Chain A
Amino acid sequence: MADSLVYLYAVGDAALGESLPPGLTGVDGAPVRVIVEGRLGAVVSTVDPVHFDEETLQGNLEDLTWLAETARAHHALVEAVWRHEPVAPLRLATVYLDDDNIHSLLRQRGAAFTAVLDRIRGRREWGIKAFAHGSEDVDADQSADSNLGPGAAYLLRKRMARERGARAQQDVQEAVADLHRALSAAAAASHLYPPQAPQLSGRREPMVLNAAYLVEESEATTFTNAVQTWHSPHVHHELTGPWVPYSFAMLEES
């Protein structure tokens, strides 16, 4: 087993080598350093195989406490680095055997990394979650069926409730489409996530939009204004961010 491993957080310009302030720490509290190769710099820290070799890491990832701490540390470091240089974040727990392998990675995938950096430089990601308003109770239309027998009245009520449900659903869909259109107009790109289940979102109302928008830093106010001024009786929405553009840091297929 190797004595140490190298955890890769993010890739940016070679300038990271100079601009990164000392004292930053990453997962496991390990000090962070930069590996420079050509025009690129990799933000890494040396980590202990005791936590990051294959077998242990797989187990750790299933350990919620470890996972939460590590995810926060990874995220906090990426944010801190971004304040000095734009960087493309790597997925959590991308680990290499040694510095040499990171040098080769930067050499081999240099063009792809550069393309990602060009896409996200000067831009931030904003998250929007929209939730459908709960539908009201449907006992209102009882008067309409006073001349009908109880069976027919029951069926009529059922049908009306169903129609109301379908209409409400359509209203929600239209509102979501309109919100997405309005925000996309102020964004350079967007990415739609699957909506989170209620237990994960912590909300009773169903999530109907879970989106990320890539926005020029200079357009941030325009975007947040668009978020604040948009209203609908059918859904309400929440803003998170700005984030480092995780959702737009995908390598193109080569």
Chain B
Amino acid sequence: MTSGGLPVPGRARQPADHRQQSTNLADILERVLDKGIVIAGDIRVNLLDIELLTIKIRLLIASVDKAREIGIDWWEHDPTLSSGQRDLAEENRRLRERIGELETGRPAQRDSEDASPHEPVGARERKTRSDG
């Protein structure tokens, strides 16, 4: 997949230590998954907020050697310093639910949701995006 002479911005500029690499990838994901022009293509996938965040968590966990040791409950201790971080509490609550589901195999209570097994929680509220 490495594409010939294509430069990877950021990589060259930053020291190649492990944490920088992960942070850098997180920065890229933050942009390519959630920013840029959002249009529903012909191929529909549910790449909405909650899944994005789940993916980020997995990214993190994969990048830490002993994921179990850091505990899966780190967000409990997440300091919410500024009022601007209120959303984080809500986000974390939803993430906990989502991870719970992922860990127990598959969707817990989805009876009222429709058929797609990947339909993320919160998909509906997010339909207000510039989706065409």
By a beta-carbon cutoff of 8 Å, the part of chain A in contact with chain B is: 5, 8, 11, 23-29, 52-54, 57-58, 61-62, 64, 67-77, 79-80, 88-97, 101, 105, 108-109, 113, 116, 127, 132, 169, 172-173, 176, 192-202, 206, 208, 240, 243, 246-247, 249-254
Contacts and interface: CB of A to CB of B under 8 A. Distances in A.
Interface of B: 1, 3-10, 19, 22-39, 41-47, 51, 55-60, 62, 64, 70, 74-75, 78-79, 81-85, 87-88, 91-92, 118, 130, 132
Nearest to A28: B1
Contacts of A64: 55, 58-59, 62
B23 A116 contact: no
A211 B21 CA distance: 19
Nearest to A92: B32
Contacts of A75: 8-9, 28, 31-32
B84 A250 contact: no
Contacts of A69: 1
B118 A58 contact: yes
A72 B28 contact: yes
Given A195-B85, A206-B79, A240-B27, A249 B60 contact: no
Contacts, number: 198
Contact of A250 (B38, B62, B74, B81): B38
Contact of B85 (A29, A92, A194): A194
Nearest to B20: A202
Given A24-B6, A75-B28, A208-B82, A201 B39 contact: no
Contacts of B25: 68, 71-72
A116 B130 CA distance: 13
Contact of B22 (A88, A116, A202, A249): A202
A251 B129 CA distance: 9
B9 A206 contact: no
6 contacts: A67-B29, A88-B36, A91-B32, A95-B41, A173-B81, A200-B57
Contacts of A243: 9, 31
A71 B7 contact: no
A114 to B, nearest CB: 12
A9 to B, nearest CB: 9
Contact of B36 (A53, A72, A89): A89
B39 A196 contact: no
Contact of B32 (A23, A173, A246, A251): A246
A190 B110 CA distance: 38
Nearest to B47: A61
A199 B25 CA distance: 13
B130 A251 contact: yes
A25 B3 contact: yes
Which of B19, B23, B37 is packed against the most chain A CB atoms within 10 Å? Answer: B37
Contacts of B19: 202
A72 B29 CA distance: 8
Which of A53, A61, A176, A249 is packed against the most chain B CB atoms within 10 Å? Answer: A61
Given A132-B81, A206-B79, A247 B35 contact: yes
